[in-house]
């Protein structure tokens, strides 16, 4: 399991997430309501909690995750409660770059169902594994680390570099292929790969089509 420690400011590259052991304060980029637009939960009303910063720099990334507000658990829970969703999705940036266990326990106790979307490079703690109902791991050119108790869906971005022989089919209940940036060339590539793997599925980003956040 990847070991996370608090990195002193003088050693810390600015873009890296900040891990704090108590998890009582988190760097939040935004909290917003929308419809889940990708993968198995597509169509479900969801409150998204976007954690700031990311440990990777993908060339196709279209997410703004650098800005943040320091929020404590009461502030986050109050903001989540403003929205009419049963599901809360932790996204980023890289949500596992910060210590989410205390927030997840708080929201679980408040009756929410919890989803995480992660790049799979940082292992979750066992405490967090027990609290999350739906795991989306979306590898970005790096192997998925050990430590995920159960992965609901592995979602691969299909672009030029995608290799179907690197799909870790045995590690997840569902495999999704998502064309990079909805580029028609990569849609075609994904459709062609699906002819060889009929149990895998196509994921498109319906929130983008609908103009939703």
Footprint on this chain of ligand SF4 (rule: CB under 6 A): 54, 56-58, 61, 63, 65, 92-94, 119, 140
Q: How far apart are CA 74 and CA 25, in angstroms?
A: 10
Nearer to ligand SF4, 63 or 182 (CB): 63
Hey, is 158 helix, strand or coil? Answer: strand
Q: How far apart are CA 38 and CA 20, in angstroms?
A: 30
Nearest approach in angstroms of CB 199 to ligand SF4 is 25
Nearest approach in angstroms of CB 195 to ligand SF4 is 27
Nearer to ligand SF4, 40 or 56 (CB): 56
Strands 69-72 vs 172-179: parallel, antiparallel or unpaired: unpaired
Instruction: Give the HSE-up count for residue 80: Cα atoms under 13 Å, Cβ half-sphere.
Output: 29
Nearer to ligand SF4, 51 or 172 (CB): 51
Q: How far apart are CA 77 and CA 122, in angstroms?
A: 25
Nearest approach in angstroms of CB 189 to ligand SF4 is 19
Q: How far apart are CA 79 and CA 28, in angstroms?
A: 11
Nearest approach in angstroms of CB 111 to ligand SF4 is 28
Nearer to ligand SF4, 41 or 140 (CB): 140
């Amino acid at each position: 399991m990847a070991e996370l420690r608090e990195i002193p400011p003088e050693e810390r590259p600015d873009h890296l997430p900040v891990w704090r052991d108590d998890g009582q304060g988190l760097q939040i980029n935004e909290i917003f309501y929308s419809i889940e637009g990708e993968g198995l939960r597509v169509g479900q009303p969801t409150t998204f909690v976007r954690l700031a910063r990311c440990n990777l720099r993908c060339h196709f990334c279209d997410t703004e995750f650098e800005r943040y507000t320091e929020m404590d658990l009461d502030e986050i829970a109050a903001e989540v409660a403003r929205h009419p969703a049963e599901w809360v999705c932790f996204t980023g940036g890289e949500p596992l770059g910060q210590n989410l266990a205390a927030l997840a326990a708080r929201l679980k106790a408040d009756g929410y169902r919890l989803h995480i979307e992660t790049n799979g490079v940082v292992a979750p703690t066992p405490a967090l594994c027990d609290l999350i109902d739906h795991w989306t791991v979306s590898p970005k050119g790096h192997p998925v680390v050990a430590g995920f108790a159960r992965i609901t869906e592995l979602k691969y971005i299909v672009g030029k570099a995608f290799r179907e022989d690197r799909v870790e089919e045995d590690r997840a209940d569902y495999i999704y292929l998502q064309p990079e940036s909805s580029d028609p060339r990569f849609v075609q590539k994904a459709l062609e790969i699906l002819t060889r793997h009929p149990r895998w599925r196509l994921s498109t980003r319906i929130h983008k089509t609908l103009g939703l956040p």
